[in-house]
Structure 1
Amino acid sequence: MSIIKSALSQIAHGHPLVTEFKNQVITLKPLPLPSNNIVLVDYTLEGHDDQYEVKFNGPLDVDLSALFRYLTTMNDPTGSKSFPKYEDVIDALNVIMGHSPRGNSEIASIGRSRFFPIDEPTLRTERQGLGWNEAIRGYFQSARPATGRLLLNANVSHGVFRPAGPAINLFTQAALYNMHTLHKNMSELRARVTYLGDKGETKRVLVKIIQGLASPYTAKGKVAKPPKVKRLGATATEVEFYLTGPTGSTGLAPNRYYTVAEYFQRRYGKSVNPNLPVINIGTSQRPVYMPAEAVEIIPGQPLQRKLNARETPTLITFACRSPVANATSITTFGRKCLQLDNNEKLSEFGVEIEKDLLTINERELKNPDIQYKNQKEANPSEGSWNMIGVKVLKPGAKIDRWTFVHVDPEPRDKDTVTRIMNGEFTKVLTDMGIPIAETPMHPQGLVVNTRAAHPVDAVRHAFTEIRRASGGKGAQFVFVILAQNDPDVYAAVKSLGDTEFGIHTTCMVRKNFTKGRPMDQYFANVGLKINLKMGGNNHQLKNDIAIIREGKTMVVGYDVTHPPPGSNSPSLVGLVASVDKELSQWPAAAWAQDGRVEMLGEKLRENFGERLVLWQKNNQQRLPENIIIFRDGVSEGQFQQVLDKELPLIREACAKKYPANSAQPKITVVVSVKRHQTRFYPTDPKHMTKSRNVATGTVVDRGVTQARIWDFFLVAHAALQGTARPAHYTVLLDEVFRANLGQGAAAANGIQELTHEMCYMFGRATKAVSICPPAYYADIVCTRQRAYMTDLFSDTSDTASVGGASSTSRAGYGKDISVEVHRDLRNSMYYI
């Protein structure tokens, strides 16, 4: 940033300009550049003077007036149907908006749009619970086009940052008994390091990268006289380094070892704390040790790793605030952080941001009534209902062979679990109408000891014993009682059950059995999953969804999840499709493709064709006349690619399955997105939930949308805490609704009502969900795949994966190691 700032200061000469300090400069007129477009910058880095060349390319003209003409008329004069429109102009506006906060040393900028005030103590958490890191409340901003106007989309954002401040203060607060954790937390931090002169005065301050704490393994065998370090995290009196001459008049003898404390005392007349670790600001091969007093960690460095299970609740608690609190924060602290007021740069570019949040109109869709067996009804309130006194609508296949497994049990708890599994558990399921044998195959259960064996080996041994005891038939269902939420054991259970043994599995945590209170509600929730896995239907809407009731429409959902940046792991695809008009069963297909590739390839055609075959088998050999597709997770810039790359593969799959002389199905493609920053805050108490969010069923399709883009926001669910996040749906193609309901409002209302009512059809819950089930199920399928490949996805675990040959290939491993769901489960909702 400093080099770019220096280059721009040389050529600005009163020209208004803004930048994101990386590769873009926005100006109102061309810059007076040298003939070769290169500006030379003298810069000192880590004590070394150097000269840098900053080369400017362009300029490229950005026509703001063209964007405003489009927003006024909503007509693209080029005739292009691509989306989004005028990306280059919006990008330039975002550079203008972000220039001031990004150039402020008291604000940390993350990515292109997130800004965090690092000098505001009221907007941060304590470090307890976040592994010595801290959460900071910041703000997101992005320019968004809407019909007739340009909007600034602003929202509260939360980030986790690494520790900052004088190292001596941080060490005083830290748990110095755990040096391994402290060493890891210090590694790769940028810090200002103070170098002293002969009289102990500050000579210079340089920015360095911390290697970590002193380690006895550092530089071993690399240099002739390596440092002597007694232990990891050794103090200034426990680390010795070899000093070569000459030493001048410092009073230090050459060619001998000195401790860090001794060196600072004799060289600079400075005493250092003998109880605090020294810090390595060199490398592991060539360490340079500095006392904590000389090191100050630069604030605003984001945590790059994923939070673990112990840390996540701390961030959730900090981030969870009422809608009113967030709305107030945006218009007060947010405006200050984003520097929206009295901003000279914004004024130079003619940008002004209104003081208040935008007020828009919404409408509310009616909560549909729910129906169970024998036409018993449940009436949702704020998107939620209960199952008291009702049975599932349609039971799945009877579970004749089932058993349960204790993982690392405690003797007393084991007896409690055994008693409940042989009594209350089956009673609750039977009362729900789920057919299950009263007695398990192993009345005492089986025991898995993961302390003595790897989780995969321990679980495989138990599953093998289950198969042997049943004469090779195996169990239909195995219930695994975990000692705690253990991702490694969970992954082993799902991977082995789904891919190797063909057994349905459900994991439960032991603490739920030992609370000493009835487990009816807990087992009822488990029962919903069980019935879906066995092919059942838990509930339906009292009034059938209009376009679905005729049994001629298949609904599809698919999603792609990606590995973390820098990983060579594959991206994972999940595809689900309905097989009946009840929308109860959603068999899945899953596969992998090249990492971080969003658009689907040839396997989409093959697997989509298999979904059509399943529909045909369940519908008297008829193929669907309509196909409604919910494509999850693509960005606006990829919308056209969905139509250009994925839709042709889907049409090819249909062409192969439909008779040559018959009509091809009508297709509607809708993109569903949850990861966006638009939020709505109610203004009327009559139209808000108990948590003070907008009412369930709220639809917004005006004010923040574009007339030429068929999109809408829907809040189908009730957020129990925090601010409800609406789902954003964009219709990329419609051949179904307009053909059945006509043009205009009828088609728009039809797709909104379908999407809303489907949110009440998520089979494992008694509440409306925030995203429509096809997209939700597809995301779950992707997540389940990660459990099969834990060696590739470190956020799951590092357990070795298991499975047989299939189509889920692993990128970057030199050979095709893959996973396929067992044939006995393939056409079921095994993933739920």
Structure 2
Amino acid sequence: MATQSTRTGTLGTPLRVVTNSYEIKKRPQLIYYHYDVGKHMLLRNWPAHSENGQAISPDVKVSRRAHEIVDKMQLEYPNVFNPRAAYDGKKNLFAPKPIQNAEYNVHMSNNPEKGVFSVKLMRVAAISPADIDRLIAPGGAGAAASTMAVNLLQIIIRQAPNKRHGFPPEARSFFVNQGNQELAGGLQAWHGYFQSVRPVLNRLLINVDVANAVMYSPGPLEGLALKFLGRRDIRDLDSGRLRPGTQEWMKLRTFLKGVQIRPRVGTDRPTTKGRPIRDIVERAGDHQFEKDGTPATVTAYFREKYGYALRYPGMFGVRIGKDAVFPAEVCEVIPGQLYRKKLSPENTTQFLRFSVQKPHERLMTITNGVNGQNQVFDYNNSDVMKTSGMVVDSHPIQIRGRVLNTPQIRYKSGPLDIRPKSGAWNVLGRTLQEPGTINVWAVAMFDPNTREDVLGNFVTQLQDNLRKLARANPYQVENELLTIAQTAVQVAEYNRPPSLILAFLPVNAPDIRRRIKHWGDVDKGVPTQCLRAGKWERARDQYINNVALNSRPQITRINAKLGGVNSAINAKLLPQCTMVIGADVGHPGPGIMNRPSVTSLVASVDPDATKYTTYASVQAPRVEIIQDLEQMVTRAISDFRKFWDNKAWPEMIVFYRDGVSEGEYAQVAQQEVQAINNALLNYRALAPDGQERNRWTKESKPKLVFIVVGKRHHIRFFPESRGDSDHADSSGNCPPGFVVDDQITNAVYPDFYLQSHSGIQGTSRPSHYIVIENEPGATIDQIQELSFRLCHVYQSATRSVSIPAPVYWSLTLCADADRVCARAEFHFTEEMRYGDSDAATTVSDKDAPFPLEQWQQGFRQSLLGKAMYFL
């Protein structure tokens, strides 16, 4: 690579596009004074229990309630809060004029003796127009100043549209109750919009995108319960049919916990806001509580206080707060509540169909939302926007990018051109670049419903001289695999483990697959390939070619597991001794703190960057910085040396890091770049005199290029002309290789957007590349071309993918740490089975120490780590 650095690339064919960003033509003109709202807003003069026995907490921890209090405060003190201040629902309030540091009492009840909150404001800083300007200047603003200035801008643009549609003013997305789709189990799919301020070089933009979410079905609570349980008769909710302790009861309890309801009758408080369900109770009408010193039932209370006779006193009810109980029949589920739990396969499929939009449809939805007849943002009429002086352009910006040249693919039988704008190629008639070796292989059939002659026909097409075909007991996976492996090597008179075991599974057998992979990956070091029933039986050419090429033993996915290479780029991809690394951290799902995060690293060892060695580890949950990075890089260097028979050393390292958010760039630049350099500077090797010494100094160490690859963003590109086939792929998206490296790029780091794959359905998302470190001074053209080419060496596909292959593989290794498909799950011992171990269930308090050592002891490296076993 070159020794100089350039900001903007020049390679490729120019292409104009529309992007879903709107320029802020006029930035804030006022000084905003930043106030700390204090640790809590304290509740004053509220009795310990309300009339119906509900306990009241003195702390306000819910953002929605905090907003209500601050809004009421501004109404009660119009001389102080005029113009109105912007509030983020937590600790930060931004006022367009100075406010006296003080405590402001706020009355949240019609009863002057109840519900008085005290809000304490303390000024901590001021944000001037010059601070905003520095966000978009070359080099950007300092980290702390940048964060707070951007927070201010986000609150200003989000406050009015979010409140208009009933969502917290600080929420990144809001959703509209139009065009919804019913899902199974009491859920609905909603359309909505995402909005975010993006400071880029010399411009301040608002990124607007379509958002989709799953919501609880609004309306009567008993109706939601019936939908969830799959029942139609309301009598099925009676205690005679729905009883505590049953599976249905426990599922309903879990489903409803935290859902916001408002009583249609039976409350003295305003009914426009929701209150969360804490639990469900049986026979709500018979529930007793103490009123005025005497026992009373809920049925009697509602009849005497509100004149309402319960129709179904035997139906379940919900507990609100500490001890307030409301019958389900008087409760209404408020609309717009996000469902954040795992969806069923049926609902997942339906939701994906609901979410998919072709590029021109997505752009039309966005533009109509911003400035159409039924626009939903209303930027121009927002009082907070008007006060700030901000003005937003009503049209999305148009920018010019380039389409990089598509590389040639190299097979052993010769080079292959990719079809224009398709990003895909056909392997029929091609010989793999470097076939792996299969000395002995065996087949294990775990599906009892498959006839052996049907299986034999399929296997024959994979390998004419099949060594061993055996039925296997799905209840004794490990023993069966060991027996089959031993039989196979005995028949072949081979004294090493089999090169491969092909396992045929029933349609839905995740536990069998997990046990097979654990046995092969970490127990025995035998590559395994699982095939699911329902796909292979007809033995069609296309499917067989995905597994085996031309019915020969050079198996495409398996080939890479065995150390072979399916295809490569037909051009010099890198300087000879360059190591390409991909790394990622997979975190547990939202709110899960009792499982570790999983780290992964894959590192190339060959000149074509097609063969990789792999490592995985665990660390404390939600920690983004890779804690074992120095050790991982050290081991990768050792494997690189072994591949080259100890005759070569890495001269350059290109490190692709996935999963880093914008706010973590500086932290990653400081800590992970340092960890890589520590691995290089501390690497010890034998010197010519036979003594072990550090291999490199700061001056002689391999040059590092550190690139963050981002996918969790909302930037999209749309060809200007919908029907222009010269400038779009078959799905209407920009063609593979489209790149943008100016006009909407970062003010601090060199970066670019690259759409490297062809769209299959919906609107393609480009990947965002941020160059954190560039020691060799590579040009942006060189980094773009390398990244695009690496998207063509993904060994499991005959098409370019959305991110470079090493990033894809590191993601495959760890994925989200609570997903069943994460390969790292198979690295845990049976005693530490992921999600079922004592360590996974004993930590319920978020402040309790995490048992990391237990997880580390229960995690094992793969015995196949020097091959791409995870494919």
What's the TM-score once normalised by structure 1's chain length?
Answer: 0.82
- Among 109, 113, 121, the residue aligned to 2:178: 121
Higher relative contact order (Cα pairs below 8 Å, separated by 6+ residues): 2
Secondary structure of the equivalent of 1:57? strand
Secondary structure of the equivalent of 1:511? coil
Q: Check 1:701–1:606 CA distance in 2 against 1; reply closer, same or farther (3 A cut).
A: same
How many angstroms apart in 1 are the aligned matches of 2:813 and 2:124? Answer: 47
Q: How big is each residue's C-alpha offset from its partner over 1:677-727, in whole Å with a ceiling of 9 and x where there is no partner?
A: 111111031211111111111000111014653100000101111111000
Q: Does residue 1:191 correspond to 2:214, yes or no? A: no
How many angstroms apart in 1 are the aligned matches of 2:154 and 2:829? Answer: 39
Cα RMSD (Å): 3.4
Q: Does residue 1:762 correspond to 2:794, yes or no? A: yes
1:401 aligns to what?
441
Q: Does residue 1:466 correspond to 2:484, yes or no? A: yes
How many angstroms apart in 2 are the aligned matches of 1:665 and 1:386? Answer: 38
The residue type equivalent to 2:127 in the other structure is V
1:63 aligns to what?
128
Secondary structure of the equivalent of 2:580? strand
* Contact 1:418–1:445 (8 Å) recurs in 2: no
Q: How big is each residue's C-alpha offset from its partner over 1:220-261, in whole Å with a ceiling of 9 and x where there is no partner?
A: xxxxxxxxx5xxxxxx7xx644587889xxxxxx979x7x77
2:504 aligns to what?
481
How many angstroms apart in 2 are the aligned matches of 1:707 and 1:25? Answer: 27
- Among 128, 136, 160, the residue aligned to 2:214: 160
How far apart are 1:173 and its partner, in Å? 4.9
Q: How big is each residue's C-alpha offset from its partner over 1:726-768, in whole Å with a ceiling of 9 and x where there is no partner?
A: 0000111112354xxxxxxxx1111111111111111111000
What are the ranges of 5 or more consecutive residues in structure 2 without an aligned counterpart?
Answer: 1-66, 237-247, 684-693, 815-821, 841-848
Q: How big is each residue's C-alpha offset from its partner over 1:533-566, in whole Å with a ceiling of 9 and x where there is no partner?
A: 0000000122222xx1x41211111111112234
Secondary structure of the equivalent of 1:54? strand
Q: Does residue 1:340 correspond to 2:394, yes or no? A: no
Q: Check 1:801–1:65 CA distance in 2 against 1; reply closer, same or farther (3 A cut).
A: closer
How many angstroms apart in 2 are the aligned matches of 1:574 and 1:345? Answer: 45
How far apart are 1:498 and its partner, in Å? 0.9
Q: How big is each residue's C-alpha offset from its partner over 1:489-510, in whole Å with a ceiling of 9 and x where there is no partner?
A: 3322222321112221222210
* Contact 1:491–1:790 (8 Å) recurs in 2: no
Residues 349-498 of structure 1 mapped to structure 2, 5 A cutoff: 349-381=388-420, 382-407=422-447, 409-410=448-449, 413-415=450-452, 418-426=455-463, 438-441=465-468, 443-449=469-475, 458-469=476-487, 470=489, 474-498=497-521
1:251 aligns to what?
none
1:30 aligns to what?
98
Q: How big is each residue's C-alpha offset from its partner over 1:454-499, in whole Å with a ceiling of 9 and x where there is no partner?
A: xxxx322323333554569543322222222443333222223211
How many angstroms apart in 2 are the aligned matches of 1:758 and 1:793? Answer: 36
How far apart are 1:272 and its partner, in Å? 4.3
Q: Check 1:204–1:326 CA distance in 2 against 1; reply closer, same or farther (3 A cut).
A: closer
How far apart are 1:377 and its partner, in Å? 2.1
2:166 aligns to what?
107
2:74 aligns to what?
8
1:226 aligns to what?
none
1:520 aligns to what?
544
How far apart are 1:390 and its partner, in Å? 0.8
Which has the larger displacement, 552-561 or 523-532? 523-532
* Contact 1:561–1:573 (8 Å) recurs in 2: yes
How many angstroms apart in 1 are the aligned matches of 2:866 and 2:157? Answer: 51
Q: How big is each residue's C-alpha offset from its partner over 1:345-396, in whole Å with a ceiling of 9 and x where there is no partner?
A: 2111111111111100010001112121121524244101111111211111
Residues 244-643 of structure 1 mapped to structure 2, 5 A cutoff: 270-274=308-312, 277-282=315-320, 288-292=325-329, 294-334=330-370, 336-381=375-420, 382-407=422-447, 409-410=448-449, 413-415=450-452, 418-426=455-463, 438-441=465-468, 443-449=469-475, 458-469=476-487, 470=489, 474-514=497-537, 517-518=540-541, 519-524=543-548, 527-545=555-573, 548=574, 550-564=575-589, 565-601=591-627, 603-620=628-645, 621-643=647-669
The residue type equivalent to 2:480 in the other structure is A
Q: How big is each residue's C-alpha offset from its partner over 1:792-825, in whole Å with a ceiling of 9 and x where there is no partner?
A: 999x8648999xxxxxxx95266353222343x1
Q: Check 1:193–1:756 CA distance in 2 against 1; reply closer, same or farther (3 A cut).
A: same
How many angstroms apart in 2 are the aligned matches of 1:562 and 1:670? Answer: 20
Q: Check 1:276–1:759 CA distance in 2 against 1; reply closer, same or farther (3 A cut).
A: farther
Q: How big is each residue's C-alpha offset from its partner over 1:105-142, in whole Å with a ceiling of 9 and x where there is no partner?
A: x333496412222xx321x22123xx322221111111
Secondary structure of the equivalent of 1:100? helix
How far apart are 1:262 and its partner, in Å? 8.3
Q: Check 1:414–1:26 CA distance in 2 against 1; reply closer, same or farther (3 A cut).
A: farther
How many angstroms apart in 1 are the aligned matches of 2:114 and 2:506? Answer: 59
How far apart are 1:664 and its partner, in Å? 1.4
1:709 aligns to what?
749
- Among 696, 699, 708, the residue aligned to 1:671: 708
Aligned length: 740
1:224 aligns to what?
none
How far apart are 1:58 and its partner, in Å? 1.5
Secondary structure of the equivalent of 1:154? strand
Q: How big is each residue's C-alpha offset from its partner over 1:56-103, in whole Å with a ceiling of 9 and x where there is no partner?
A: 1214111222432663x5266xxx8x6698332222111111111333
Identity of aligned residues (%): 24
* Contact 2:582–2:603 (8 Å) recurs in 1: yes
Q: Check 1:517–1:151 CA distance in 2 against 1; reply closer, same or farther (3 A cut).
A: same
How many angstroms apart in 2 are the aligned matches of 1:393 and 1:491? Answer: 31
What are the ranges of 5 or more consecutive residues in structure 1 without an aligned counterpart?
Answer: 216-228, 230-235, 248-253, 428-437, 450-457, 739-746, 803-809
How many angstroms apart in 1 are the aligned matches of 2:540 and 2:759? Answer: 27
Secondary structure of the equivalent of 1:721? coil
1:654 aligns to what?
680
How far apart are 1:338 and its partner, in Å? 3.0
How far apart are 1:582 and its partner, in Å? 1.8
How far apart are 1:590 and its partner, in Å? 0.9
The residue type equivalent to 2:68 in the other structure is S
* Contact 2:521–2:826 (8 Å) recurs in 1: no
How far apart are 1:315 and its partner, in Å? 1.6
How many angstroms apart in 2 are the aligned matches of 1:246 and 1:115? Answer: 44
Q: Check 1:10–1:583 CA distance in 2 against 1; reply closer, same or farther (3 A cut).
A: same
How many angstroms apart in 1 are the aligned matches of 2:291 and 2:155? Answer: 53
How many angstroms apart in 2 are the aligned matches of 1:514 and 1:303? Answer: 38
* Contact 2:583–2:599 (8 Å) recurs in 1: yes
How far apart are 1:512 and its partner, in Å? 0.7
What's the TM-score once normalised by structure 2's chain length?
Answer: 0.78
How many angstroms apart in 2 are the aligned matches of 1:188 and 1:486? Answer: 33
Secondary structure of the equivalent of 2:381? coil
- Among 74, 82, 90, the residue aligned to 2:138: 74
2:157 aligns to what?
97
